[in-house]
Amino acid sequence: MKKRVIITLLVLATLVAMLGLAGCNVTVFSGTSVNSKEITKATSWHITASSLNGHGTRTVNMSPDGLSALNVTSMNAAGNITLTLSQGDTTSTVDISGNYSGSIDTSKFAAGKLNLRLDYANAKDVDVYLSW
């Protein structure tokens, strides 16, 4: 009987945690990574790794000021990295491979929910920092 109660409480706690995260800036990664580290904050996203192959996505709620201030600093020794922004039917992709530093053109997008996707193709010695 105690086991069932404990299992039921754990399942409920997991469901509550999942529902609580539904409105948060949660990152989803698909692929392979070696020595990767990610730091997500309300106005930034920082990823470092020895090797990445795959993609990471994050949905953020952009204010008008944050949208106009979207900036990327990216470095990698090999491979390719692209950043894709999407909102509804509007999409924009930027190659941020090698040494990239600068603002991202967000003129096609409105304030509100914005999907960010980083695609990594055999990227080595990765350090990507996005801020808004």
Which contiguous run of DSSP H or E holds residue 103?
A: strand 99-103
The two tokens of residue 124 are: 């080595």
Which pTM was predicted? 0.77
Q: What is the pLDDT of residues 32-45, one digit of tens each?
A: 778 888 999 999 99
Domains and CATH numbers, the chain: 25-131 (2.60.120)
DSSP string, 32-85: EEES-EEEEETTEEEEEEEEEEEEEEEEEEE-HHHHHT-EEEEE-SEEEEEEEE
Q: For the beta carbon of residue 91, count every other beta carbon within 10 angstroms.
A: 13
The reported pLDDT for the residue numbered 15 is 44
pLDDT per position as a tens digit, 69-105: 999 999 999 999 999 999 999 999 999 999 999 999 9
